[in-house]
Amino acid sequence: MGRLKLNTGIKSIEEEPEERDASVESNRADLLAYSINSEVSAVLAVMRRNVRWGGRYISGDDQLEDSLIQSLKTLRKQIFSWQNPWHTINPALYLQPFLDVIRSDETGAPITGVALLSVYKILTLDVIDQNTVNVEDAMQLVVDAVTSCRFEVTDPSSEEMVLMKILQVLLACMKSKASVMLSNQHVCTIVNTCFRIVHQAGSKSELLQRISRHTMHELVKCIFSHLPDVESAEQTLVNGVTSHKHEIGGLDNDYAFGSKQIENGNGNSELDGQASTVSFGSNASTALVAREENAIGTGGGKDGLPFDLHLMTEPYGVPCMVEIFHFLCSLLNVVEHTGMGPRSNTIAFDEDVPLFALGLINSAIELGGPSIRCHPRLLSLIQDELFRNLMQFGLSVSPLILSMVCSIVLNLYHHLRTELKLQLEAFFSCVILRLAQSRYGASYQQQEVAMEALVDFCRQKTFMVEMYANLDCDITCSNVFEELANLLSKSAFPVNCPLSSMHILALDGLIAVIQGMAERIGNGSVSSEQGPVNLEEYTPFWMVKCDNYSDPNHWVPFVRRRKYIKRRLMIGADHFNRDPKKGLEFLQGTHLLPDKLDPQSVACFFRYTAGLDKNLVGDFLGNHDEFCVQVLHEFAWTFDFQDMNLDTALRLFLETFRLPGESQKIQRVLEAFSERYYEQSPQILANKDAALLLSYSLIMLNTDQHNVQVKKKMTEEDFIRNNRHINGGNDLPREFLTELYHSICKNEIRTTPEQGFGYPEMTPSRWIDLMHKSKKTAPFILSDSRAYLDHDMFAIMSGPTIAAISVVFDNAEHEDVYQTCIDGFLAVAKISACHHLEDVLDDLVVSLCKFTTLLNQSSVEEPVLAFGDDAKARMATVTVFTIANRYGDYIRTGWRNILDCILRLHKLGLLPARVASDAADESELAADPGHGKPITNSLSSVHMQSMGTPRRSSGLMGRFSQLLSLDTEEPRSQPTEQQLAAHQRTLQTIQKCHVDSIFTESKFLQAESLLQLARALIWAAGRPQKGNSSPEDEDTAVFCLELLIAITLSNRDRIVLLWQGVYEHIANIVQSTVMPCALVEKAVFGLLRICQRLLPYKENLADELLRSLQLVLKLDARVADAYCEQITQEVTRLVKANATHIRSLMGWRTITSLLSITARHPEASEAGFDALLFIMTDEAHLLPANYVLCVDAARQFSESRVGQAERSVRALELMAGSVNCLARWSHDAKETMGEEESAKLSQDIGEMWLRLVQGLRKVCLDQREEVRNHALLSLQKCLTGVDEINLPHGLWLQCFDLVIFTMLDDLLEIAQGHQKDYRNMEGTLVLAVKLLSKVFLQLLNELAQLTTFCKLWLGVLSRMEKYLKVKVKGKKNENLQETVPELLKNTLLVMKSRGVLVQRSALGGDSLWELTWLHVNNIAPSLQAEVFPDQDREQSHHKLGETGGSLVSDETDSVSSKESVHAEVAGTGG
């Protein structure tokens, strides 16, 4: 293809035969030729207008034509004849004629201006680039010609035009593609020329001033934007030596480069020295840097070398940038060198030049950026000279200069902070912190600019973290983070003044820091919470090092450890200031000093600990004690006096303590100093004695010059004379002594240094010390976006921050400020929660709650309206509840304040109607979707108190109806639109709060927070008082109780946590209430509800829960009576739902006690009996544990006269039926249990049975005939239907004594007592005596074997005898008269048939026989003959034969057998 391939270097163009490309190239060549031709014409045309050039032209004498015109004409002839491509043509051919015109001093300003314009146009045609032939020479020609431009000045405007054109061409040179071929020397020349024009423009028009300054800025941008592409300075230096030499020509000697050093005895590199004074006179030969061939000083190495001349001829790079940057820095010395005398030109020295220089420096730094650190010379310029000047200009009264200085420092922080650790510390300590506070005399404008700068820094996400890690955690540095945070907090406080922009500015900075922390939370490393730092053993604190400053796993523990040491040292300093001995002992106790003190550790404590009393330190160091002298020498050895002037070193040394007043102490101190100084800086001094004598001399001179009491001051000659022959017998150099003299005269050595933690001024000696320290300081730690140290930082600043934001919020009047504060509050809450700083979160909640206005029990007539109109209160309220919902896990005591707000909203009727019940029912919603009412529904109505009506109605709907009703009797004023809007705002605010979520979501709260929430609810409810409490208090207590029950139900899995507090609160309410009220109702039913809901889930707590129901039994009688029916229904519900979960005796005792009470309550008895019925009819629920209790409860229901007798009968049936359970348990025991267990259960079953029949016995005495008789039948059933239960014989004896005989006796007594309430007792007596007979006969076999059978039998007989003879209502009962003998007869027949009643001995020894007949004869004398008809026959025919006797006997037996069967049937039937 026919494309032009441009190879690197100068090569011929490879043409490929394609006509189109060739024609394009041809057209371009023609275009360039025509362009240059037209420029030649333009120059010639202007020249012809001039008499000098025009006259010669008219004369027609070609010989007389000037060479300038000839060269132009020659160029015109040649351009159209050149056939080669343009980049193969030497640019000098077509540029030289124009450059000759520019150089000529015969041409006037108009001609020079046109020639310059022509060169500018050619440069911008893109003809010349780095591939053009001889481009390097051509570009240098252009620069040389333009910078040495000569022309005649005819009028000011034409001169300005030429100067503008020069600027234009020079800038075009730098922007050209070929600019890379310019040498360092030429670039410096270009900048120098531009600066001279800037200077000259001061007396010219405003336009030239602006254009020249703009050009200077553009040049600096062009040059320094090239820095990232340049090799490092070291490489350039090395390569420069080996590269081939270029011929040096055409260089103006004015522009040679070198260095100059001002301070004698100072070995700083030439770049650190002060630049020579820049002359701003009218002569145009001012150099960038005046060259001095021999640099004074002993510095060596690469930093001490000036740039070699051949380097300045290399293509431009670092060398020219260093020189330009040095020059720009030197411009900042202008005030120092020119003084503040009358101004000789229009540039304002005090503001304009520094501003201009600072602007250029800022551009250079912006474009050079992080590349600067690769070039040590540039970097050292910034670290030392630039920063030193920035420190001075930072305290300028000009806000413009201060603002520019701050911008530069911000840029430097961004790009080079790793190289500027101590410089940044100095800037913040000596500039920002001094200016931002009015006590140092700064103007309001200075304060504002400093604050703006600080806020800009705070907006850098890692700024505060890096300040904390690098400075606050370094024992040799000040606490910059802490000071800045305190400054922001204090500056945000409006003290006795309205809120100003400064307060808002400080607040912005504070919130920027806080939000930076909040943003870092999501980036990890928060959870790995480091524990507290402890020093287990002594290690020299000043030698603690970090293995890897770039790995957070290393540097984070390291800086935390350093901060701990620093804090301990500060505490130690406090102790030391009160008692030096105790201070050192304290530090030994914390392992910061060794158990046996050594001089080095004490010296380092004095050297590196801020806040020490310098008087005490001075006294200690000056002491003659041997240990103190050793400490003094170690102390001196902590200083670095390398290459430092003596007066500077002495100043630094004496700044750290107060020089004692006694001459001996001064001697010791200065000896130690001199020894150290001579060791490090022996350049001029012969020995350490010379250093000591000169130091003494300086102290005396200092006193002489600066003590007001000394009238005659020492002259320079006096000083020099005093110091003769002190340098090993020789004199010191006069210049050296002169310099020392003037230094002391100008700047006093303070022998009483400032105490405390103020912000010092940056003196030259301090700066020198800083530069020394910066070489040895620990590397700068770069922080990433993780929250490594935020916990520690936030703990420091949280208190002042919350206070500051609160005060601004309190004083603010604009919603945007409110929003800023709210953002701050939420960020604080987020950080507190994530770093588990519960105290901070509580403080924040307390602070915010004050702003809700809900806690102010104000006398506002319409608090709801007032709230709706108060944007601040509404925002605060939403924020409080947002925090409660988001970060509730970490709220502790703050819950009380939050609850106060909720209660206030409740009292105002602003809460959703079902906050508490929504919370309580939340877990039931799944089962019943329609159960809960959503919060929005209850809020959808507008809530408003009716105007002009004092009466309050509860709930939102009630209020709304009052608001809208027009047909009521009382006159009501219509609400205005504003009032309606306020109400609407109030409602929307409450909706945003999601108050209900606090309680419905409480199951997600951490345990400690949940416990505190519950305690806060109990606290808010107040302690119940006996007697009357106000309706409002009761309403509050009820509401709190509802919420308490709600969270208890929501947290069933953690009930153990809450239960004790909840139970005690409910118990207090129950025990202190004497009248029915809503509170006790809520308490009792809440308790029942808790039990109902939790029993299925918490079997281990079942007893505890059920025991709590005993509180119901303790209710005051009036209260219990009022709620008995509902309580019973709840208990019934509980039993039916949870019977299987109630297993213990205690639990059942509580339940049955509650049910038993209801037996005598008209309304409650039905429900109570229903529950009992449920338990006793379901065999699964009737257990050994509850058997006796249920039987007892059933007995109480059967005895109860409440309701129909039918229920009593049913209760008796339940009792009688329960015997089947006993039989089943007995059967199961035999089959499944071991002998021992079975025996034990059998014994228990026997006791249960005994309790059952005893219970029935009591009911047998009931006044109601139906119940009484049914009880007897039930008792009979329970006594006779126990074949499957193995009851021991002893139990039956108990049963006869305690149950049967007692019942018979009691009935007899009632019958004889003529009681009117008992009717038809005769029938009952018959049933009773039949029961006796039947039970006796059924158990006869077992009873007969007992030793006490006789006694038992006599008891039976005596009761029958009594029943026979009883008189009911004064007359005997016929029924009994018939029944008793018949039953007795049957009994005797059975006893006879079973061989129980037989005559065993005729000798009267058979007491059973005799006693039986003794009693029987009293009842029915004829019975013996009837039952034993053959008794006499047997006796009279005793001697008959066996066969007859046998027959008779058989016959009798058969008769007896029949009778006994009859008797048994009769007994059963009876």
Residue type, 1358: S
User: What does the angle CA 1393 – CA 1454 – CA 1283 come to, to the nearest 5 degrees?
Assistant: 40
Tell me which residue has tokens 């309410």: 1069
Residues in Cβ contact with 148 at an 8 Å cutoff, skipping those fewer than 6 apart? 103, 252
Q: Which residues of 1088-1104 are buried (b: 16+ CB within 10 A; e: fewer)?
A: bbbbbbbbeebeebbbb
Token pair in block for residue 1457: 């057998």
Query: Which helix H or strand E contains 1368, and what residues bound it?
Result: strand 1367-1368
Q: Return the DSSP state at 1367.
A: E
- CA dist 1325 and 1387 (Å) reads 18
Tell me which residue has tokens 């008082």: 1025
Residues in Cβ contact with 439 at an 8 Å cutoff, skipping those fewer than 6 apart? none
Tell me which residue has tokens 């700064």: 442
Cβ contact 1151:1109 at 8 Å: yes
DSSP 834-864: HTT-HHHHHHHHHHHHHHTSTT-----S-HH
- Report, in this order, helix, strand and coil percent for the chain, each rounded to 5: 70, 0, 30
Cβ contact 1084:1077 at 8 Å: no
Cβ contact 454:432 at 8 Å: yes
Q: How buried is residue 1195: exposed, middle or buried, by Cβ count under 10 Å (0-12/13-18/19+)?
A: buried
The region, left, alpha or beta by phi > 0 then psi within -120 to 50, assigned to residue 337 is: alpha
Token pair in block for residue 986: 């109030």
- CA dist 46 and 1103 (Å) reads 118
Instruction: List the catalytic residue out of 14, 231, 529, 662.
Output: 662
Termini Cα distance of the chain: 138
Q: How buried is residue 1427: exposed, middle or buried, by Cβ count under 10 Å (0-12/13-18/19+)?
A: buried
The region, left, alpha or beta by phi > 0 then psi within -120 to 50, assigned to residue 1027 is: left
Handedness of CA 761, 764, 769, 774 (dihedral sign): positive
Cβ contact 189:250 at 8 Å: no
Cβ contact 361:351 at 8 Å: no
Q: What is the 3-state secondary structure (H, E, C) of 53-115?
A: HHHHHHHCCHHHCCHHHHHHHHHHHHHCCCCCCHHHCCHHHHHHHHHHHHHCCCCEHHHHHHH
Cβ contact 356:221 at 8 Å: no
Over its C-alpha atoms, the chain yields an Rg (Å, rounded) of 57
In 327-428, where do the E strands start and end?
Answer: none
Beta-bridged to residue 152, according to DSSP, are 108
- CA dist 677 and 674 (Å) reads 5
Question: How far is the CA of 356 from the CAs of 198, 334, 756, in angstroms?
Answer: 10, 12, 38
Specify whether 662 is catalytic.
Answer: yes
- CA dist 217 and 100 (Å) reads 29
Residue type, 366: E
Cβ contact 1073:1025 at 8 Å: no
> Which stretches of 80-205 are DSSP H helices?
91-103, 109-123, 135-147, 156-175, 184-200
Active site residues: 662
